[in-house]
Amino acid sequence: MSEEKIGIISHYYNKIGVATIVLEGGLSIGDTIHIKGSTTDFTQKIDSMQLEHKSVETATAGNHIGIRVNEYAREGDIVYRAVEK
């Protein structure tokens, strides 16, 4: 399993546990992502995401999406998507 960079965390909403990601690549429900920063390092599966406050199944480069995250994320953290070799 390898990883490809697909975006950057642009904001984290602490009270609701949601991160917004500016995508540089595609992302779909069911994908596994790895969020990594200077003090952040966790992996989780995408079970829902929103684009402009509407639930979507997939998102593409240039989209700004919101996802609920399992741990604290910080602005500037890099988002990677797990890729099957």
Cα 48–Cα 50–Cα 51 angle in degrees, nearest 5 = 150
Domain 2-83, what architecture?
Beta Barrel (2.40)
Confidence category of residue 43, pLDDT binned at 50, 70, 90 = very high
CA 15, CA 38: separation in Å to the nearest integer? 22
Average pLDDT, rounded, for the chain: 96
* Mean predicted confidence (pLDDT) in 22-26: 97
Beta carbons of 64 and 10 less than 8 angstroms apart: yes
- Scored b (16 or more CB within 10 A) or e, 10-27 reads eebeeeeebbbbbbbeeb
CA 79, CA 53: separation in Å to the nearest integer? 20
> Domain map of the chain by residue range?
2-83
Q: Which residues contact 68 (CB under 8 A, 6 or more apart)?
A: 16, 17, 18, 47, 48
Confidence at residue 28, expressed as pLDDT on a 0 to 100 scale = 97
Does the structure show a pLDDT above 90 at 46?
Answer: yes
Confidence at residue 74, expressed as pLDDT on a 0 to 100 scale = 97
**Tens-place pLDDT, residues 56-67:** 999 999 999 999
